[in-house]
Amino acid sequence: MLIPTGVVENEVRRTPWVSVSLLVLLVAVFLVGVRGGFGDRQRRHLGEKVEQALEFWAERPWLRPPVALGELVGPGVAAEISAEVSQLRDVAVARKLVPISYVVAEQQRQLESLFAEAAGAARDRRDLGLAFVPARPAIAGLVGHMFLHGDFWHLIGNLLMLFITAPFLEDVYGRVLFGALYLVGGLFAAGAHAMATLSPEVPLVGASGALAVVMGAFLVRLGRSHIRFLFLPILFLPTLRFGFALPAFVVLPLWFVEQVVSAQLAPDAPIAWWAHIGGFAFGLAAALTVKLFRVEERWIDPAIEGKIGWAQDPALLKASDARAAGAFATARNSARAVLTKDPGNVDAWRSLLDTETASGRKAEAASAATRLLERYVAMQEHALAAALVDEVGEVLLEELPARFFLAAATARERSGDAEGAYRELETLAATRPNDPAAVRAAMRMAVLARGGGREDDALDLLAWAKAHPACEAGFREAASRTEAEIAAASGRPAGGRRSLPARRFAAWGEPRTLPAHADG
C-alpha cells in the first residue's frame, strides 16, 4: 500500500483557511449527513426494497426485465442482472415451471411495482439529495456532490490528497482564486462525467473531480515539489515500511494516465473516471492561463504581502522559486547571500535547510538544521524548536551533530518537557558514545533523573560520565559532588563503589546499550 503523507517543500505564508474549511466541511458532511442516522435508515430501507425486488424476480425468472431496473442500478449493471436471470429462465422453461399467462401477467405487474418502489426509495434518499444525477441535473446536485462521499475510505483518500496539495496551491493563488478554481473546476468535472457516463441514472458523489482540478493546477504551478510517500508492503505488518519522495511532475502525470487507461478498460466501473480526467484537464488549463497572464505577480502576491504585514527578502523569494524549479544551486546561493549579511536570519536558515533536504545533501541539511535550531532556542521559540526536532530528528539522525541534540534538549526542557529533554540527551549518548558531548549529555541526564526521583539512574549516569575518556577535571569534580549529595540524602553508594549495570537506550526504535568505560 502506497500512502501519500505530505510534501517536502511545505512552507506557506499564511493560514490556508479555504483549504482548512474544505477539509472540515468534507468531514462534517460525511459524519452528519451520511453517518448521522437518517442516512443509515434510508440506506437500509433502500437495501431491503432492492433485495425484495431481486428475490421476487429470481424466483420468477420468466418475467421480463422491469422498466425501473436501469434507473435503479444503471444500464451496465442492469444488463448483467438480466443476463443472469435469463439463464434462470432457460432452466425454468426446460423444467416447465412457467405458469399460465394471466398468472404471469399478474406477477409481472407485481415485479414492476416492487422495482418502482425501490427506485422511489433511491430517489428519496436524503443522504444523496445533494448528489449529481446526470439524467436529472440540478443546481443543488452540481454543487453538493463535491462534498459527499460514499464511504470512509473514499473520504480518507480525498482528504489525504487535498491536505497534500490544497494549502500550498491556496498560498500561491490566494484564497479567492483558489476557492473559485475548486468550485468552478468541480462543476466542469461533473459536466465531463455527465457527457461520458454510461449510467446517467447513477448518482455522482465525492470531491474527486474538484480534487483533480487542484492536482492539475498543482502540476503546473508546483510541479517541482516533492511528494512524500509511506510504503507499507504488508498492511497488517506496519513495521515493514519505508518512506520516499517523488517529484509532483512524476507522480501526478502517472495518476492522470491511470485514469485515462481505466476509463478505457473499465468504463462500467463505479468510479467517475471522466470527472477525474475532465477536472485534471481543467486544472491544467486554468493554471496555464494564470501563468500566461502573470496573475500572481500582478495582483495576488502584492495583495498577500500587503496583508501579512511583512515582505520577505527578495533573495529568499528567489531561493524559494529556484528550489521549486529544481535549481538547487541557485536556491542555495541565494539563501547563503542573505546569511552573509544577516547570520541570524531564521528564514534564510529555513530556506537553506529545505534546499539541502530537497537536493538530498543530508550532511549540509543537518548543519543548517542545527544552526536553525540554535537560533530558535536563543529566540525562545520553543514550539518552533520542538517542531523542527520532530521534523528532522529521525530523517537526519546519522548526520546530525551532537550539538543539535544538546540544543533540542534545552528547547524541550525550557518548554517544560523534561521527559522529552531526557530522550534527546539519551539519543546523543546512545548513538554517539565516544563524542565528548556525550559527557555533557550524561551529566544533564543525571540532573533530570535526580529531579524525577530516580537516584539510581542518576548515579549510574554520573559514574559513566566520570569514566568517559573525554571527561575533564571540572566535570569529574562536579559529578563527584553530586554523587556525594545523593549518597548523603539517600544512603546509596556513590559511583565507582558498585558495578555499573548495562543500561539500554531506545534510539529511534533500536535498542542500544550505553557502554561502560574503565575508571580513569
Q: What is the pLDDT of residues 198-233, one digit of tens each?
A: 888 778 888 999 999 999 999 999 998 889 888 777
The letter for the amino acid at 503 is R
The letter for the amino acid at 426 is E
The letter for the amino acid at 412 is R
The letter for the amino acid at 343 is P
- Please tell me the distance from the alpha carbon of residue 428 to that of residue 425, in angstroms, as a whole number: 5
Whole-Å CA distances, 155 to 29, 162, 211: 10, 10, 12
Confidence of residue 35 (pLDDT cuts 50, 70, 90): very low
Is residue 131 within 8 A of residue 199, CB to CB? The reply is no
* Residue 517 grid cell: 568505560
Query: Hunting for cell 491536505 — which residue is that?
Result: 163
For range 138-157, the mean pLDDT: 87
Is residue 147 within 8 A of residue 26, CB to CB? The reply is yes
**Nearest of 59, 57, 56, 66 to residue 97 by alpha carbon:** 59
**Nearest of 68, 204, 41 to residue 128 by alpha carbon:** 204
* Residue 138 grid cell: 440540478
Buried b or exposed e, range 66-92, using 16+ CB within 10 angstroms: bebbbbbbbbbbbeebbeebeeebeee
Give the pLDDT of residue 507: 33
Confidence of residue 304 (pLDDT cuts 50, 70, 90): confident
Say which range, 73-77, 164-168, 350-354, 421-425, has the weakest mean pLDDT. Answer: 73-77
* Residue 98 grid cell: 412457467
Q: Residue 307 CA to chain centroid, in angstroms?
A: 28
Q: What is the pLDDT of residues 65-80, one digit of tens each?
A: 998 888 777 777 788 8
| Residue 257: partners with Cβ closer than 8 Å, 6 or more residues away | none
- Please tell me the distance from the alpha carbon of residue 35 to that of residue 311, in angstroms, as a whole number: 46
What pTM, to 2 d.p., does this model score?
Answer: 0.55
Is residue 370 within 8 A of residue 403, CB to CB? The reply is yes
Residue 505 per-residue DSSP state: E
Is residue 390 within 8 A of residue 426, CB to CB? The reply is no
Query: Hunting for cell 549540509 — which residue is that?
Result: 364
Helix (H) or strand (E) holding 247: strand 242-247
Q: What is the pLDDT of residues 346-400, one digit of tens each?
A: 999 999 999 999 999 999 999 999 999 999 998 888 888 988 999 998 789 899 9
Is residue 225 within 8 A of residue 214, CB to CB? The reply is no
Is residue 189 within 8 A of residue 278, CB to CB? The reply is yes
Residue 126 per-residue DSSP state: G
- Return phi, psi of residue 226, to 5°: -105, 125
The backbone region for 148, taken as left when phi is positive above 0, alpha when psi lies in -120 to 50, beta otherwise, is beta
* Residue 338 grid cell: 542573505
**Nearest of 405, 415, 477, 389 to residue 445 by alpha carbon:** 405
Give the pLDDT of residue 462: 85
In the three-class reduction of DSSP (H, G, I as helix; E, B as strand; rest coil), residue 309 is classed as coil
